[in-house]
Amino acid sequence: MPCSKGPVVRSKVLIAAALLSILLLYACGDGSQRQHVAETTTGGNVIRGARMIQYYGCGSCHSIPGISGASGLTGPPLSGVASRIYIAGVLRNTPENMMRWIENPKAVDEKTVMPNLGVTHADATDIAGYLYTLQ
């Protein structure tokens, strides 16, 4: 009967909406928590870091989650880079070493294909901030 179905359907919709908002809260909570941890660890600004990754064209050689058009295959994918033990197999993965690598990879490993892109220290700090959200 249509008149008894109405409220049942409506409460199902309400339950679904409630579940969805709980899910969204969890998802957003996790993301902003990760951003907070990355920013405190590196001192960089994650949002600006993402913009700098676009600006320097890192995506022409790396696939980088969350950066549109970043799907290069010359370098390794940067997904999970925050959880790696070593950077490029030569440096211990610490925020300082990450910035050092981004600013001047050739000084760390003269044979690396990754070029010096003239990244400033401030930009490297923000880029490291973004990369540290990629766990």
CA distance 34 to 135: 9
Of 113, 120, 121, 135, which one interacts with ligand HEC (CB under 6 A)?
113
Strands 91-92 and 86-87: antiparallel
**Mutual orientation of helices 2-42 and 121-131 as an angle, nearest 10°?**
140
CA distance 8 to 124: 55
Task: Fill in the per-residue mask, 34 to 53: x = in contact with ligand HEC (CB under 6 A), - = not in contact.
Answer: -------------------x
Residue 22 or 90 having the CB closest to ligand HEC: 90
Residues that bind ligand HEC (CB under 6 A): 53, 56-58, 60-62, 74-76, 78, 81, 84, 87-89, 101-102, 109, 112-115, 117, 119, 127, 131
